[in-house]
Structure 1
């Protein structure tokens, strides 16, 4: 038998290093492409469908009507820092943030009724820093800011009512799912809940080191709050009863989560302060990292927001760039200007698994292929494949009846490619 790995001791050492890396998160070779690089830092992105979207940041509002292939830019002043954007439809939308006036910071709301062609500015002098907005229709919306203040409008943002929540922390996010039920998050590990349209708030505290940055509710019961710190494990809390109680998830992400978006109770996406776009298919417990084409000069990525217009079309923005994904049609992988697709190893399905599971992989050129399953300690358990393959997509169904409950790793090795992923067997 021709062995692809001739030195078993070297293989075990290499695999052990790979295991240390993938024990944090696996890398997914898929579907995110760089749409735009600009000198402006972007903080928030919103799409009303798969074509029409907006992004905001330092002194700029960007607009696209072709899914992010091209963008137009409108300047709103170099002293303006916009932190959040939302649209009710293709014409009506809002962007919030702060404006520096000398040594004074003033909260600002920009409103458009023509899809971003023009914007009307409103000042909120009672708050110097506005962080997030949430609208449930064309008239009713809420804004969070500093000192625990929340502002509410019932006339589309022309006038705002300031509400004292009882918190004195900076509130970083707000999310309402209807006229009555809403939540806000802030520094100091605080989650605020309202059931009367934001007029009164109850406060729950989860430790001063749990700084919350992102909030997302699918409906009035199921929601996620995310955050953390730069040099620690990420923090994710989940509720299934509308925020009456919260479960802290032991996830595998590191660093502060800046934003998150969930398609359903299992599938979600997030971006972290430490860089990268991540996906979960386990309701937030386990996350995979997407492979991103490196920036020129090897600059690191710093993302601030991620948003999906539907389950297949998503965008992420950060410190001078916009990325997009089209899960239905896929995105051609580009390396050094040459289009094509790389050899890649996909996550086994299902995972966790019990009796059987399926492993899929793609090969870009004729090559020898080895597919092996290893124990957590690096011992070879099962040699699934060891032969030559032509370019194409392949799948193998694995019988797991002889496997014990535990964590395993499967590794794909070709003449020019190697990748390892984690598999969990449960009984």
Structure 2
């Protein structure tokens, strides 16, 4: 049963990542697929080509761990600070018992000829479920042995989540299923379910993103209510996470009708706040690079991480590939109800090898700042100019590559990509 909640207003805070989300240096060039926070400082990330990253200082340093595999890892979960699992392509399953310092392969007896494997849900150290598109398995002894689970569909199990050994959920091609007996039998709880993630906070409260709409259940999936908020019709859910029933964090893809690559957004929805002005979507997150966001996870109300992939292919420089990690240390979003106006500037020459000149098209004198960052988000140059109508920046000491130059004055800002040759 679906009903519209017209009395429940949500605030959608979709932001560019230059505000509260700070890019961190992953040190890897592979796409990153999942993130799990044990604490706000102790965090794990997994990605393609067997990538496992660990930080114990809140992302100041990310250390790559030896996984022993070259398969793409799609999911990571920890039961406690010592015991965790990573799961990925072709049924690859890894386990750590020493806090992620070392990882051992576990034989799942699974498929060796099908790539799509991303279902991992741990109930405790001994009981967890794994799924690929063509099979569904359970262990009750920490991965020593596995038994087949009666899957709700014969193929294309896209994701799973178990809250107890008996109660769990599985996403099929266009339906959401629930089991109350450990996967022996399944019931369809949401039909016509398309293109989006789901997340259950507990046995009663859960959220589902489907075809750009957000649904909520407070009775374990017996009933779903459509939560309405504006300007979301073209946003398709990628990942969703919540620490309480009022605040929902999302990663969404904005799929454009032009056939262009999708833009990705991070949003925070709070059912207890009422927007003062019309809600807007500012989804230009890549800051000049192609950005894909794959997952989001919060350790607590204030500290969370989002991961994905930054890349560039074009005629303005060599190809780039960066494992993307972004951190939020406040649990808040900036630019909540308006888009920064764009400052009209001209930046030339571009490409350049010696100087960059910044001028204002109206030729007026004003106070402004210029910041230059590299592709890792590291600040290379920052200077404030008082009552000037132009600026000249010497870049002869810069390494060759792509940079991002941002001009800010009052409420206006403009970021452009520049190439140092």
1:52 aligned to which of 33, 42, 59: 42
2:219 aligned to which of 236, 241, 247: 241
2:92 aligned to which of 108, 130, 133: 108
Gaps of 5+ in 1: 1-22, 99-105, 229-233, 332-343, 349-365, 368-413, 420-427
Structure-to-structure mapping, 1:184-333, within 5 angstroms? 184-187=170-173, 189-204=174-189, 206-207=191-192, 210-212=194-196, 214-228=197-211, 234-251=212-229, 252-253=231-232, 254-273=234-253, 274-282=263-271, 295=287, 298-319=288-309, 320-327=323-330
Q: Give the direction of change, closer, same or farther, for the CA distance of 1:415–1:51 in structure 2 (3 Å limit).
A: closer
CA RMSD of superposed structures (Å): 3.3
Q: Give the direction of change, closer, same or farther, for the CA distance of 1:35–1:416 in structure 2 (3 Å limit).
A: same
1:91 partnered with 2:91:
no
Q: State the SS of the aligned residue for 1:138.
A: coil
Q: Give the direction of change, closer, same or farther, for the CA distance of 1:346–1:238 in structure 2 (3 Å limit).
A: closer
Mapped partners of 2:136, 2:87: distance in 1: 13
Q: Deviations over 1:311-354 (max 9, x none)?
A: 111000001210111117x89xxxxxxxxxxxx76559xxxxxx
Mapped partners of 1:417, 1:326: distance in 2: 23
Mapped partners of 2:240, 2:335: distance in 1: 26
Q: Give the direction of change, closer, same or farther, for the CA distance of 1:346–1:58 in structure 2 (3 Å limit).
A: closer
Report which structure shows greater RCO (CA 8 Å, sep ≥6).
2
CA shift, 1:272, in A, is: 1.8
Q: Give the direction of change, closer, same or farther, for the CA distance of 1:114–1:288 in structure 2 (3 Å limit).
A: farther
Gaps of 5+ in 2: 1-10, 254-262, 310-322, 339-365, 368-407, 414-421
Count of residues paired in the alignment: 303
Q: Give the direction of change, closer, same or farther, for the CA distance of 1:154–1:135 in structure 2 (3 Å limit).
A: same
Q: State the SS of the aligned residue for 2:165.
A: coil
Contact 1:279 / 1:288 at 8 angstroms: preserved in 2? no
Contact 1:218 / 1:264 at 8 angstroms: preserved in 2? yes
Normalised to the residue count of structure 1, the TM-score between the two structures is 0.63
Q: State the SS of the aligned residue for 2:158.
A: strand
Q: Deviations over 1:158-205 (max 9, x none)?
A: 222111223134222222222322111132x21010112233222345
Mapped partners of 1:168, 1:283: distance in 2: 41
2:169 aligned to which of 172, 180, 183: 183
Q: State the SS of the aligned residue for 1:67.
A: coil
Contact 2:241 / 2:250 at 8 angstroms: preserved in 1? yes
